[in-house]
Amino acid sequence: MCGIVGYFGKRKASEILVDGLRRMEYRGYDSAGIACLFDGQIGLVKNAGKIKDLRAGVNASTDASILNATLGIGHTRWATHGPPNELNAHPHLDASGHFAMVHNGIIENYKEVRNGLAQHGVECISDTDSEVLIQLIGYCYQGNLEDAVSEALKKIKGTYGIVVMTDHEPGKLVTARCGSPIVLGIGKDETLVASDASAIIPHTRDAVYLEDFDMAVITDDGVEMLDLQHAPINREVTAMDWEEGAAEKGDYAHFMLKEMFEQPDAIGNAIRGRLDFDMGTAVLSGLDFSPRETALIGRVLVVGCGTSMHAGMVGEYAIEEMAGIPSEVEQAAEFRYRNPIITPTDLVVAISQSGETADTLAAVREAKHKGAIVSGLCNVVGSTIARETGRGVYLHAGPEIGVASTKAFTCQVSVMLMMALKLARTRRMPRHEGEELCGWIERMPELVEKVLTQNDAIKAVAQKYAQCEDTFFIGRGYLFPVALEGALKLKEISYIHAEGYHAAELKHGPIALLQENTPVVALLNNIPGKDKTLGNAEECKARNAPVIAVVSEGDEGVADGFDDVIVVPDCPPCITPVPTVVALQLLAYHIAAARGCEIDQPRNLAKSVTVE
Ligand code: M6R
């Protein structure tokens, strides 16, 4: 969602800030702004709209602060309280104009704080919840910025990642976090602050991740880390291991396209060093249970949202089928609020690409609170869920910038399969079966590569259906979560209404909607239940709905009589989701491209959903 960047150093702040915001555009936003501090003056440029508009505003500015400052803050806002306009865009100033702040998160008691400030003659001018915080900081200021920040933070309820500056103390930036990520980039003679490592990575690899209730004071003397009571704290500097160019689009038209084509390498990275052929098992160092501890796991609960939840469903099926351990997947928000029953032998696996999704993080906290063993499966290194679960497994998929999650899903499924294998081998799976599964997991990059070679053929199918307004995706067993994921991909980037259904469920209502312009994508791969799904696809055809059949290589005859066919490699049922979803990702991408949609930043969506 919103993005934060701050700069303290010797270079031109406005350029670094705007570039940092550009690198965070993928997170989703609808307005942007920067504030720079020079010669005791704060200069401000902000607008509704895109970073290119902000850049134009900055380039046109004659304000000495914008032109000369080597210290400043910037923000991309995804509107929550109040529409996306210049007034509501960050940075916000206090009433005196001497304090500027950017804020991510939600101030839950903002109305109460605003009314309290009004009683002391301080009026807020924007619709945002954020503004009350900088007004409060200005109001609390008595000569020391970090004192004012910690005083103000004690009075608010909610979540925040903030960076604040004041022209009363021109050589200082103060940042703090609670619930919204903040990372410091420690460079030579400069310090960067951001909500997302992508804004920092071009400048330095040395990062310090703030934890909740941490505050950092950045001055010429360096970075001082404090808690809100001003006691010094230590946070280690870690090296960010992103490859140069990993967060750049290169020659691809979109990040999503690049990330789909990166999947063979990404899956290769996710499985590298984690398969033990000798023992026919997987080695996941984050899940370093002894066989005895593993044997005691009574149930696996998987929590996540969106695409991550769909990957969790594949994991649920695999864990039950292979390990014989009862497993359930649950939408993280539902899990956190319905007072779930958790026992000490439950393993709760939280899946999140970003590691920052608010509901998944809250589910982790609830599960920990109730005494479960909690593990995180995240892509973003150092993210909150990864750190709070401790016992985590990283995906190693590399940065995923496109809002539509692609390589994260296939890597999540790869890791879930390895987790199922590990659990299964300490239970009932014999070594030779484990070895065979290791072989199939190792082949997944090659299977995906094969699907990617059909890009042009899938594009041709996509172009036939680009003008439809409603679609259905149907599947069974391991392909049911893939049907959900295929529909999610299509709706989020093409704005076509797409529903993923269990193939058996169609007759219980949705079939009423089928007509000649409602295509049905039927997942007819060679897995148990295929014949039943085939019958369901025939029922769709009988109602004049065009059917796009996804079938296994060598089994193309299944598609006879249907309108279009996409062939994916034949493989065991638990492996099928990976190559099949890649075909659906390509289908969604080409439909969206044919409709001229903004693929990497679909309307209303954010990459990381940090509010409930
Ligand atoms: O970062 P997370 O994996 O926790 O994100 C969860 C969902 O917000 C995410 O998967 C979302 O559904 C994607 N936009 C789907 O492509």
Measure 68 CA to ligand 1 centroid, in angstroms: 40
For the segment 399-406, the average pLDDT, to the nearest whole number, is 93
User: Is 305 annotated as catalytic?
Assistant: no
- Asked if 561 and 544 count as a contact pair (C-beta separation under 8 A), the reply is no
HEC profile for 29-46? Answer: CCEEEEEEEECCEEEEEE
Q: At what angle do helices 455-465 and 577-594 cross, to 10 degrees?
A: 50
Measure 413 CA to ligand 1 centroid, in angstroms: 14
For the segment 577-599, the average pLDDT, to the nearest whole number, is 97
- For a mutational test of ligand 1's pocket, the pick from 354, 356, 403, i.e. the residue with the most ligand atoms closer than 8 A to its C-beta, is 354
> Any bridge partners for residue 104, and if so which?
161
Please indicate whether residue 354, judged by its CB atom, sits closer than 6 Å to ligand 1: yes
Q: Which tens digit of pLDDT belongs to each residue from 174-206? A: 999 998 889 999 999 999 999 988 899 899 999
Chain centroid, CA 569 distance in Å: 29
- For a mutational test of ligand 1's pocket, the pick from 1, 27, 308, i.e. the residue with the most ligand atoms closer than 8 A to its C-beta, is 308
Give yes or no for residue 530 having a pLDDT over 70: yes
Query: What is the pLDDT, as a whole number, of residue 571?
Result: 97
Which band of pLDDT confidence, cut at 50, 70 and 90, is reported for residue 243? low
Helix (H, G, I), strand (E, B) or coil at 230: coil
When mean pLDDT is compared across 116-120, 122-126, 601-605, the lowest value belongs to 601-605
CATH of domain 249-448: 3.40.50.10490
Alpha helices of 157-305 — where are they, by DSSP H? 255-261, 263-271, 291-295
- Give yes or no on whether 2-246 and 454-597 have one common fold: no
Higher-confidence residue of 154 and 242: namely 154
For the segment 422-443, the average pLDDT, to the nearest whole number, is 96
- Asked if 467 and 456 count as a contact pair (C-beta separation under 8 A), the reply is no
Residue 168 identity: H
- Strand blocks (E) in 137-289: 160-166, 173-178, 183-187, 190-194, 206-209, 214-219, 222-227, 238-239, 275-276, 281-282
Considering the entire predicted model, what is its pTM?
0.81
% of the chain at pLDDT higher than 90? 84
Q: Which tens digit of pLDDT belongs to each residue from 57-83? A: 999 999 999 999 999 999 999 888 888
Q: Which tens digit of pLDDT belongs to each residue from 202-240? A: 999 999 999 999 999 999 999 999 998 999 999 999 888
Tokens of 501: 């259904």
Give yes or no for residue 23 having a pLDDT over 70: yes
Rounded CA separation 488/307 (Å):
8
Please indicate whether residue 308, judged by its CB atom, sits closer than 6 Å to ligand 1: yes
Measure 93 CA to ligand 1 centroid, in angstroms: 33
Alpha helices of 319-357 — where are they, by DSSP H? 332-337
**Helix, strand, coil: what percent of the chain each, to 5?**
40, 25, 35
Q: Which tens digit of pLDDT belongs to each residue from 534-559? A: 999 999 999 999 999 999 999 999 99
**Beta-carbon contacts of residue 202 (< 8 Å; ≥ 6 apart):** 19, 23
Please indicate whether residue 360, judged by its CB atom, sits closer than 6 Å to ligand 1: yes
Query: What is the pLDDT, as a whole number, of residue 485?
Result: 98
What is each CA distance from 277 to 286, 354, 578, 597, in whole angstroms?
A: 19, 31, 21, 45
% of the chain at pLDDT higher than 70? 99
* Mean pLDDT, the chain, integer: 94
User: Is 464 annotated as catalytic?
Assistant: no
Domain residue ranges of the chain, discontinuous segments joined by +? 2-246, 249-448, 454-597
How many contiguous H segments (helices) and E segments (strands) does the chain have?
Answer: 19, 26
CATH of domain 454-597: 3.40.50.10490
Closest listed residue to residue 38, CA positions, set 14, 56, 74: 14
Which band of pLDDT confidence, cut at 50, 70 and 90, is reported for residue 474? very high
Which band of pLDDT confidence, cut at 50, 70 and 90, is reported for residue 300? very high
Q: Where do we find the tokens 């804004």?
A: 199
Higher-confidence residue of 285 and 70: namely 70
Q: Is the peptide bond before 91 cis (omega within 30 degrees of 0)?
A: yes
Sort strands 160-166 and 173-178 into parallel, antiparallel or unpaired: antiparallel
Rounded CA separation 400/394 (Å):
14
Please indicate whether residue 352, judged by its CB atom, sits closer than 6 Å to ligand 1: yes
Give yes or no for residue 247 having a pLDDT over 90: no
Closest listed residue to residue 160, CA positions, set 102, 207, 90, 114: 102
Q: What is the DSSP letter of 405?
A: -
Which band of pLDDT confidence, cut at 50, 70 and 90, is reported for residue 287? confident
CATH of domain 2-246: 3.60.20.10
> Any bridge partners for residue 549, and if so which?
522, 565
Rounded CA separation 396/382 (Å):
12
Query: What is the pLDDT, as a whole number, of residue 603?
Result: 84
Give yes or no for residue 242 having a pLDDT over 70: no
